[in-house]
Amino acid sequence: MDRYVTEGETPDANSLTELKAEAEHCRRCDLYKHATQMVFGHGPSRARIVLVGEQPGDKEDLAGKPFVGRAGMVLDECLAQADVDRDQCYVTNAVKHFKFEQRGKRRLHSKPNAGEIEACSWWLNNELRLINPKIVVALGGTAAAALLGSSIRVMRDRGKVIQSTLFPPVLVTIHPSYILRIRDRVDAEAEKRAFVRDLSAIGALAT
């Protein structure tokens, strides 16, 4: 059995371009019904580093690219401070459609459930199969659950590199939007420094 593909499923795609074309027609769960588009991963097909977020937000849903909104700006800043070049990373999400609640004109982020994460893991597993990176970074609980199962606790396990037979090593850390939710500036800066510390391990793990 292929390392990354669930037993019984046969991957069709031989490249990320083919996989993306297949994902555009995804009906594995209902999230496609309300999202603008499927937001596939973005970055070099031979990347040594894969960063996995939760799901596209409002801006990503409209742009069709992951991490282009406020969380993406925090991610970019912290990657730069950790000496990691985002352009060398393949950036993707555990769930590929935006899940939201409509409140008037606003679309408020809504957390994907276990069934949606499981349904979408087909695409994530195949992205990892095709890229075969040295290190995968789980940004937050949804990514950690998709990659490692629900026993991972981000605050307990952050900074750890989890080895498994199914995936390349996975570095667990927080989601950058967690920093945006901290009201106190001093606390937010401290959390940002801790995030940079976690990300600083990537360079050595990617060699």
For binding to ligand URA (CB under 6 A), which residues are involved? 53-57, 60, 66-67, 69, 71-72, 93, 177
**Between 19 and 75, whose beta carbon lies closer to ligand URA?**
75
| Dist CA 165 CA 167 (whole Å) | 6
Which residue, among 12, 31, 18, 178, has the nearest Cα to 95 in the 3D structure? 31
CB 14 → ligand URA: shortest distance, Å?
26
Q: At its nearest, how many Å lie between ligand URA and the CB of residue 112?
A: 10
Q: How far is the CB of 69 from ligand URA (least distance, A)?
A: 6
Nearest Cα residue to 24 out of 96, 94, 90, 91: 96
Minimum distance of ligand URA from residue 93's CB (angstroms): 5
Neighbours of 118 (CB within 10 A): 16
CB of 10 to ligand URA, least distance (A): 28
Residue nearer to ligand URA on the CB measure, 28 or 59: 59
CB of 53 or CB of 133, closer to ligand URA? 53
Comparing CB distances to ligand URA, the nearer of 72 and 133 is 72
Q: Which two tokens stand for residue 16?
A: 């990320």
Of all residues in the shown chain, the one whose CB is closest to ligand URA is 53
Report, in Å, the least distance between residue 181 CB and ligand URA.
12
Nearer to ligand URA, 5 or 70 (CB): 70
Q: Please say which residue, 9 or 87, places its beta carbon nearer to ligand URA.
A: 87
